[in-house]
Amino acid sequence: MIIRKAYEDDLNSICALSNEIYGDHFKSMPDNFLEPKDDNRDAAYWQCFMNVDDAIVLVAQEKEKIIGAVCAKIVITKGIPFLAEKTRLYIGTIVVTDKHQRRGIASLLMSHVEEFSEKFNATEVLLEVMSFNQDAINFYRALGFDDFSTKLVKKLP
């Protein structure tokens, strides 16, 4: 298995992975996530992280098959009077196909994407995880992540 930078030609495979993770999100939060279709609905999202200097998409490839992907970008907190200036790596999405989970692939993707952030002198990695996704929360905690903030929601009548 190799971890490499994604290419435009990988978008079909990446979108298939994206459909997998957002299918789980739809099942758990149908009021917030759209049901994925068997298409490339998410291609534009992933493309936002491709071919720009401050963002990246990496894929895990086994033989000819893409089995995982991560997208990330550099975010600089600057010019906001109440926040410390920081350079962070923001993880947009990470996904490993169900069949290949718990084999260390997500950890490898995270390690490689953190290496990408070194040339920007990033000091933190920031990501958001849905509260229903306890497996992901446990995974991130095992990698050393800790609570940063809490998002709350209230439905209006």
Tell me the helices (H) and strands (E) count for the chain, helix number first: 4, 5
pLDDT tens digits, one per residue of 76-112: 998 889 988 999 999 999 999 989 989 999 999 999 9
pLDDT tens digits, one per residue of 44-83: 999 999 999 999 999 999 999 999 999 999 999 988 899 8
Burial (Cβ within 10 Å: 0-12, 13-18, ≥19) of residue 113: buried
CA distance 88 to 100: 29
pLDDT average, residue stretch 13-36: 86
Question: 74 with 87: CB under 8 angstroms?
Answer: yes
